[in-house]
A and B are shown apart, each in its own frame.
Chain A
């Protein structure tokens, strides 16, 4: 299998008050193309920093990050990155927010409107295209931000806790919906979450990070078939995974 992301011995520190703050220590992560991979770890362990490095926003690090066969130090990768905040532009309506990446890359004019309409309805936003971000619920805002990320260039998606701020019910709905869309398109997804069940339910593979300095302390494959069904959460295998991950996280 071809590796979409290949991270070898990544170390990253910041200087904070003239002291070195180690954030990532020898992180190794191999993501096969088309897989859904989750990363869980305690708050502050360096998950967002890891994503920022993959996206090319952090230049100072040791080790190597290879994206689609190219070292990101040599050629900056095209990555679809959804940051922890949704960062919707309040003065743009939903449609204008969504097409921002196309607009910036100059591809909006050549984009098939039929394709856009199809994506908008797949993301369940057809009734909201004229609405402004402050008129949307939290779940809707996340969908808008996700679709905007989807339309960014690059076959690799980095999703940093996209559902962190949602209530349990909305969260379940949006997970099912994300799976449905992802199973249709099969992009490589790296997904940060605090929620162990969410990680198991969505992923092919789960990485567990230690408290800062973040190391990979566990890496397990999730052997449920696709398309996933919600009732796998009641199986003993699911509970075994959960127990295992919880003990790795020491919660």
Chain B
């Protein structure tokens, strides 16, 4: 088991290095033009050259992501708690939430732009929409999956409904809540980028479209690299928080 974990820690950097070297040499050997597939070195060069510009765009996208994510988080927590406490609310709202997920983002994004302008608001709203569902599904599922015997014990101890909610349901829901948060974090950056694509003054999404239109493929790859790093960073922050909140030996 220990051996497995050790090689596991090393396997990621090794496989990554192998991939980069293979990519670089293939591009070199096949002499593929830069606008088709740029070599990693070309991507790095583009990254360094456009770094100040890229950072400006990153700041905008990051702001959209953070605002959207936090709004979604607050909304999800409030709605989940309300739906769990008030059954009718759950019956009314749940179908609409599922429907909201079936409308494709590339239709909603331009629509939001028509309604809310070219500014940051429509992008934040898309991020909210993308994050809301996984967080809410995770939290509601965690809050409602119960052990009947535990419910009976609480009944014998005469726990009030609000005690049951705060002392048992909420802590018990934490693992599923955090799973939802992680999925939302992974989606949030893509959501923001996609909504910028449709029309924006600044942001990684608009940089992406511009690079594409001018065949600056290396810059495009540099942009994608930043998107990946941002998503991973968010994911990592949430995993870290999860470890702090759920103090429990992992079952793995």
Contacts and interface: CB of A to CB of B under 8 A. Distances in A.
A83 B153 contact: yes
Given A90-B248, A132-B248, A134-B249, A101 B152 contact: no
B169 to A, nearest CB: 11
Contact of A85 (B149, B155, B160): B149
Nearest to A158: B156
Which label, helix, strand, loop or mixed, suits the secondary structure of the A interface? Answer: loop
Contact of B167 (A81, A104, A134): A104
Interface stretch (A50-58, A67-75, A194-202): A50-58
Contacts of B155: 57
Nearest to A92: B171
Given A83-B152, A85-B149, A104 B159 contact: yes
Contacts of A84: 149
A89 B153 contact: no
Nearest to A84: B149
A218 interface: no
Interface in A97-132: 100-101, 103-105, 132
Given A87-B147, A132-B248, A134-B248, A81 B153 contact: yes
B168 A87 contact: no
A76 B172 CA distance: 28
B246 interface: yes
B157 A104 contact: yes
A103 B157 CA distance: 10
B152 A57 contact: yes
A25 B214 CA distance: 86
Contacts of A234: none
B45 interface: no
B32 interface: no
B158 interface: yes
B216 to A, nearest CB: 51
B248 A87 contact: no
A165 to B, nearest CB: 15
Nearest to B246: A91
Interface in B115-150: 147, 149-150
Interface of A: 52, 55-57, 79, 81, 83-85, 87, 89-92, 100-101, 103-105, 132, 134-135, 152
23 contacts: A55-B152, A56-B156, A57-B156, A79-B156, A81-B153, A81-B156, A83-B149, A83-B153, A84-B149, A87-B150, A87-B153, A89-B171, A89-B172, A91-B172, A91-B174, A91-B246, A100-B167, A104-B159, A105-B158, A132-B249, A134-B249, A152-B156, A152-B157
Interface of B: 147, 149-150, 152-160, 163, 167-168, 171-172, 174, 246-249
